[in-house]
Homo-oligomer: A and B are copies of this chain.
Amino acid sequence: MAIASLTEKTDGITGKLKAPALMISAAPKTRIQKRNTANILEAALEVFSAVGYNGATVDGIAQAAKMSKPNLLYYFSSKEAIHVTLLEQLLDMWLDPLRALDADGVPKDEILAYVQRKLEMSRDMPRESRLFANEVLRGAPHLSADTKNALKALVDQKAAVIQGWVDAGQIAPVHPYHLIFSIWAQTQHYADFDVQVRAVLPEAEARDPFPTAARHLQQMFERMLAI
Protein backbone atom coordinates (compact mmCIF):
# COMPACT_ATOMS: atom_id res chain seq x y z
CA MET A 1 0.00 0.00 0.00
CA ALA A 2 2.29 2.75 1.27
CA ILE A 3 0.32 5.70 -0.02
CA ALA A 4 2.46 8.77 0.44
CA SER A 5 1.01 11.87 2.00
CA LEU A 6 0.12 14.46 -0.56
CA THR A 7 2.23 17.18 0.92
CA GLU A 8 5.34 15.08 0.46
CA LYS A 9 4.95 14.86 -3.30
CA THR A 10 6.09 18.23 -4.55
CA ASP A 11 8.01 17.06 -7.58
CA GLY A 12 6.54 17.38 -11.01
CA ILE A 13 4.85 20.66 -10.28
CA THR A 14 3.89 22.33 -13.50
CA GLY A 15 2.25 25.39 -12.00
CA LYS A 16 3.35 28.59 -13.62
CA LEU A 17 4.91 31.19 -11.38
CA LYS A 18 4.38 34.83 -11.97
CA ALA A 19 6.66 37.64 -11.03
CA PRO A 20 5.22 41.07 -11.82
CA ALA A 21 4.59 40.80 -15.56
CA LEU A 22 6.81 37.75 -15.80
CA MET A 23 6.08 34.06 -16.08
CA ILE A 24 8.58 31.47 -14.99
CA SER A 25 7.70 28.31 -16.83
CA ALA A 26 10.29 26.04 -15.26
CA ALA A 27 9.63 24.14 -12.05
CA PRO A 28 10.00 26.17 -8.86
CA LYS A 29 13.39 25.99 -7.22
CA THR A 30 13.59 27.62 -3.84
CA ARG A 31 12.69 25.81 -0.65
CA ILE A 32 9.99 28.34 0.19
CA GLN A 33 8.41 27.96 -3.22
CA LYS A 34 8.21 24.22 -2.82
CA ARG A 35 6.63 24.56 0.58
CA ASN A 36 4.07 27.12 -0.53
CA THR A 37 3.02 25.40 -3.73
CA ALA A 38 2.61 22.19 -1.78
CA ASN A 39 0.53 23.96 0.86
CA ILE A 40 -1.63 25.55 -1.78
CA LEU A 41 -2.25 22.29 -3.60
CA GLU A 42 -3.09 20.51 -0.36
CA ALA A 43 -5.50 23.29 0.59
CA ALA A 44 -6.99 23.33 -2.90
CA LEU A 45 -7.56 19.58 -2.76
CA GLU A 46 -9.39 20.02 0.51
CA VAL A 47 -11.60 22.80 -0.79
CA PHE A 48 -12.23 21.62 -4.34
CA SER A 49 -13.13 18.12 -3.22
CA ALA A 50 -15.54 19.47 -0.64
CA VAL A 51 -17.44 22.07 -2.66
CA GLY A 52 -16.41 21.53 -6.27
CA TYR A 53 -14.68 23.88 -8.66
CA ASN A 54 -17.43 26.46 -8.87
CA GLY A 55 -18.17 26.34 -5.18
CA ALA A 56 -14.56 26.98 -4.26
CA THR A 57 -13.22 30.50 -3.86
CA VAL A 58 -9.64 31.61 -4.26
CA ASP A 59 -9.87 33.31 -0.91
CA GLY A 60 -11.14 30.13 0.68
CA ILE A 61 -8.21 28.15 -0.67
CA ALA A 62 -5.82 30.86 0.45
CA GLN A 63 -7.22 30.77 3.97
CA ALA A 64 -6.99 26.99 4.06
CA ALA A 65 -3.35 27.37 3.01
CA LYS A 66 -2.89 30.03 5.71
CA MET A 67 -1.86 32.77 3.32
CA SER A 68 -3.34 35.87 1.71
CA LYS A 69 -5.14 35.72 -1.61
CA PRO A 70 -2.64 37.87 -3.51
CA ASN A 71 0.15 35.71 -2.17
CA LEU A 72 -1.54 32.58 -3.46
CA LEU A 73 -1.98 34.26 -6.83
CA TYR A 74 1.73 34.96 -6.78
CA TYR A 75 2.29 31.22 -7.07
CA PHE A 76 -0.62 30.26 -9.32
CA SER A 77 -1.83 32.65 -11.96
CA SER A 78 -5.50 31.74 -11.52
CA LYS A 79 -8.00 29.50 -9.79
CA GLU A 80 -8.19 27.42 -12.94
CA ALA A 81 -4.41 26.97 -12.96
CA ILE A 82 -4.53 25.50 -9.46
CA HIS A 83 -7.24 23.11 -10.47
CA VAL A 84 -5.48 21.99 -13.62
CA THR A 85 -2.20 21.49 -11.81
CA LEU A 86 -3.91 19.50 -9.09
CA LEU A 87 -5.68 17.23 -11.53
CA GLU A 88 -2.67 16.49 -13.67
CA GLN A 89 -0.47 15.93 -10.67
CA LEU A 90 -2.85 13.57 -8.91
CA LEU A 91 -3.91 11.54 -11.91
CA ASP A 92 -0.60 9.74 -12.03
CA MET A 93 -0.93 8.61 -8.45
CA TRP A 94 -4.52 7.73 -9.09
CA LEU A 95 -3.63 5.31 -11.84
CA ASP A 96 -0.82 3.59 -9.96
CA PRO A 97 -2.98 0.63 -8.88
CA LEU A 98 -3.95 -0.09 -12.47
CA ARG A 99 -0.36 0.28 -13.63
CA ALA A 100 0.63 -2.36 -11.10
CA LEU A 101 -1.60 -4.95 -12.78
CA ASP A 102 0.99 -7.49 -13.84
CA ALA A 103 0.54 -9.41 -17.08
CA ASP A 104 2.85 -12.11 -15.74
CA GLY A 105 1.03 -12.61 -12.46
CA VAL A 106 -1.75 -15.03 -11.61
CA PRO A 107 -4.77 -13.52 -13.41
CA LYS A 108 -7.39 -13.86 -10.70
CA ASP A 109 -4.96 -12.74 -8.00
CA GLU A 110 -3.89 -9.75 -10.04
CA ILE A 111 -7.43 -8.53 -10.58
CA LEU A 112 -8.49 -9.14 -7.00
CA ALA A 113 -5.41 -7.33 -5.77
CA TYR A 114 -6.25 -4.44 -8.06
CA VAL A 115 -9.75 -4.26 -6.60
CA GLN A 116 -8.36 -4.20 -3.09
CA ARG A 117 -5.78 -1.52 -3.88
CA LYS A 118 -8.43 0.62 -5.52
CA LEU A 119 -10.73 0.22 -2.54
CA GLU A 120 -7.91 1.19 -0.23
CA MET A 121 -7.46 4.35 -2.24
CA SER A 122 -11.13 5.18 -1.81
CA ARG A 123 -10.68 4.73 1.91
CA ASP A 124 -7.40 6.60 2.26
CA MET A 125 -7.77 9.23 -0.44
CA PRO A 126 -11.45 10.11 -0.68
CA ARG A 127 -10.70 13.73 -1.50
CA GLU A 128 -8.82 12.79 -4.62
CA SER A 129 -11.65 10.51 -5.67
CA ARG A 130 -14.22 13.25 -5.25
CA LEU A 131 -12.02 15.72 -7.08
CA PHE A 132 -11.96 13.49 -10.14
CA ALA A 133 -15.62 12.62 -9.82
CA ASN A 134 -16.49 16.31 -9.83
CA GLU A 135 -14.32 16.95 -12.84
CA VAL A 136 -15.61 14.04 -14.90
CA LEU A 137 -19.22 14.76 -13.94
CA ARG A 138 -18.89 18.16 -15.56
CA GLY A 139 -17.41 16.72 -18.72
CA ALA A 140 -13.74 16.96 -17.74
CA PRO A 141 -13.30 20.57 -18.92
CA HIS A 142 -9.91 20.88 -17.23
CA LEU A 143 -8.32 17.67 -18.42
CA SER A 144 -5.97 18.09 -21.33
CA ALA A 145 -6.21 15.91 -24.42
CA ASP A 146 -2.77 14.55 -23.54
CA THR A 147 -3.99 13.40 -20.17
CA LYS A 148 -7.07 11.76 -21.65
CA ASN A 149 -4.94 9.99 -24.23
CA ALA A 150 -2.55 8.75 -21.58
CA LEU A 151 -5.48 7.40 -19.60
CA LYS A 152 -6.91 5.69 -22.63
CA ALA A 153 -3.52 4.21 -23.57
CA LEU A 154 -3.10 2.72 -20.12
CA VAL A 155 -6.58 1.23 -20.09
CA ASP A 156 -6.13 -0.13 -23.62
CA GLN A 157 -2.94 -1.85 -22.55
CA LYS A 158 -4.41 -3.40 -19.43
CA ALA A 159 -7.61 -4.36 -21.24
CA ALA A 160 -5.44 -6.26 -23.71
CA VAL A 161 -3.77 -8.05 -20.83
CA ILE A 162 -7.13 -9.10 -19.44
CA GLN A 163 -8.32 -10.17 -22.88
CA GLY A 164 -5.18 -12.29 -23.13
CA TRP A 165 -6.08 -14.04 -19.88
CA VAL A 166 -9.58 -14.68 -21.20
CA ASP A 167 -8.26 -16.06 -24.47
CA ALA A 168 -5.87 -18.32 -22.59
CA GLY A 169 -8.77 -19.62 -20.53
CA GLN A 170 -7.24 -18.43 -17.29
CA ILE A 171 -10.32 -16.47 -16.23
CA ALA A 172 -13.96 -16.64 -17.27
CA PRO A 173 -14.94 -14.63 -20.36
CA VAL A 174 -15.44 -10.96 -19.55
CA HIS A 175 -15.54 -7.70 -21.43
CA PRO A 176 -12.22 -6.23 -20.28
CA TYR A 177 -13.21 -2.57 -20.53
CA HIS A 178 -16.48 -3.02 -18.71
CA LEU A 179 -14.69 -5.11 -16.12
CA ILE A 180 -12.41 -2.17 -15.44
CA PHE A 181 -15.43 0.14 -15.28
CA SER A 182 -17.03 -2.22 -12.78
CA ILE A 183 -13.97 -2.00 -10.59
CA TRP A 184 -13.78 1.76 -10.83
CA ALA A 185 -17.47 2.27 -10.24
CA GLN A 186 -17.77 0.02 -7.21
CA THR A 187 -14.61 1.07 -5.44
CA GLN A 188 -14.97 4.80 -6.05
CA HIS A 189 -18.58 4.59 -4.99
CA TYR A 190 -17.43 4.22 -1.39
CA ALA A 191 -15.52 7.49 -1.58
CA ASP A 192 -17.75 9.59 -3.83
CA PHE A 193 -21.07 8.57 -2.30
CA ASP A 194 -19.74 8.08 1.18
CA VAL A 195 -22.56 9.98 2.87
CA GLN A 196 -25.17 7.92 1.07
CA VAL A 197 -23.44 4.66 1.91
CA ARG A 198 -23.27 5.57 5.56
CA ALA A 199 -26.83 6.90 5.61
CA VAL A 200 -28.23 3.67 4.22
CA LEU A 201 -26.08 1.07 5.95
CA PRO A 202 -27.09 -0.25 9.39
CA GLU A 203 -25.40 1.73 12.10
CA ALA A 204 -22.76 -0.78 13.05
CA GLU A 205 -21.43 -1.02 9.52
CA ALA A 206 -21.92 2.65 8.75
CA ARG A 207 -19.12 3.50 11.14
CA ASP A 208 -16.69 1.83 8.74
CA PRO A 209 -18.16 0.34 5.59
CA PHE A 210 -14.80 -0.72 4.16
CA PRO A 211 -14.20 -4.11 5.80
CA THR A 212 -17.52 -5.53 4.62
CA ALA A 213 -17.17 -3.75 1.29
CA ALA A 214 -13.79 -5.41 0.79
CA ARG A 215 -15.23 -8.84 1.46
CA HIS A 216 -18.21 -8.19 -0.77
CA LEU A 217 -16.11 -7.02 -3.69
CA GLN A 218 -13.66 -9.90 -3.35
CA GLN A 219 -16.58 -12.32 -3.40
CA MET A 220 -18.12 -10.56 -6.38
CA PHE A 221 -15.04 -10.60 -8.57
CA GLU A 222 -14.05 -14.09 -7.50
CA ARG A 223 -17.36 -15.44 -8.73
CA MET A 224 -17.19 -13.27 -11.82
CA LEU A 225 -13.81 -14.59 -12.87
CA ALA A 226 -14.02 -18.23 -11.78
CA ILE A 227 -13.62 -20.64 -14.66
Contacts and interface: CB of A to CB of B under 8 A. Distances in A.
Contacts of A197: 181
Interface string A174-217: 11011111101110111011011101111001000000110111
Q: Is the interface of A mostly helix, strand, loop or mixed?
A: helix
Contacts of A174: 216, 219
Interface in A1-17: none
Contact of A152 (B130, B178, B199): B199
A133 interface: yes
A129 to B, nearest CB: 10
A172 B212 CA distance: 17
A25 interface: no
A55 interface: yes
- Which of A50, A151, A184 has the most B CB atoms < 10 Å from its CB? A184
Contacts of A217: 178, 182
A29 B138 CA distance: 36
Interface of A: 50-55, 130, 133-134, 136-140, 148, 151-152, 155-156, 172, 174-175, 177-182, 184-186, 188-190, 192-193, 195-197, 199-202, 205, 212-213, 215-217, 219-220, 223-224, 226
